[in-house]
Amino acid sequence: MKRMVVMISGGGSNLQALIDAVQSGRLPVQILAVVSNRKSAYGLTRAQNASIPTLYFPLKPYTDKGFDREEYDADLAYRVGEYHPDLIVLAGWMHVLSANFLNYLAGIPVINLHPALPGMFAGTHAIQRAYEAWQRGEIDHSGCMVHEVVPEVDAGPVVAQAVVPFLPGDTLEAYEARMHEAEHQLIVEATAFMLSRLAAR
């Protein structure tokens, strides 16, 4: 069975979608560990509830000592590499990973979930920025994607995507809720696709 590490920074609802898919047999993979850069991330609790090992690995001790992000990323990659994963899934990981991380783990695919479509709203606050663009009449839909991670933000090859249209009278909260539902489905689909691609190697 293939093995993966999931990296999070927050509540972990997308992590929960992956855990549920593993437990129901829809995803033939073992989640080796859940890694977070935030101690308060509820996703760590979700992992512990599913008896999945966790790793808390914060940036602040590095910046406090005057180290840069590249050194943090190199050490983070080493720690993740110790699990010997076949796949790394960023499910709400809120740090941009530098080439140091990707180069150390070269050969292990890293995929990221982002709540926007390719070429639109890269970076943070993507759902809010899309909602504001819809209110200005500039777009009638947004969506989410899972892409392979490259050093450029939200710019790697797309693995899967889903359109989430705006509805008349949408509030930001209502749109966010529909976006998250789409994300939960998409991250499972994209992970299944990556696992089938790995199995075919």
Q: Where do runs of H (alpha helix) occur along the chain?
A: 13-23, 42-49, 60-64, 69-81, 99-104, 126-135, 172-199
No. of helices (H) and no. of strands (E), the chain = 7, 7
* 114 catalytic per annotation: yes
What is the rounded CA–CA span in Å between residue 82 and residue 66?
26
Query: Which residues are registered as beta bridge partners of 36?
Result: 8, 56
Q: Where do runs of H (alpha helix) occur along 110-171?
A: 126-135
Q: Among 34, 25, 27, 12, which residue's Cα sits nearest to residue 189?
A: 27
- Choose the catalytic residue: 114, 125, 180, 184: 114
Active site amino acids: 114
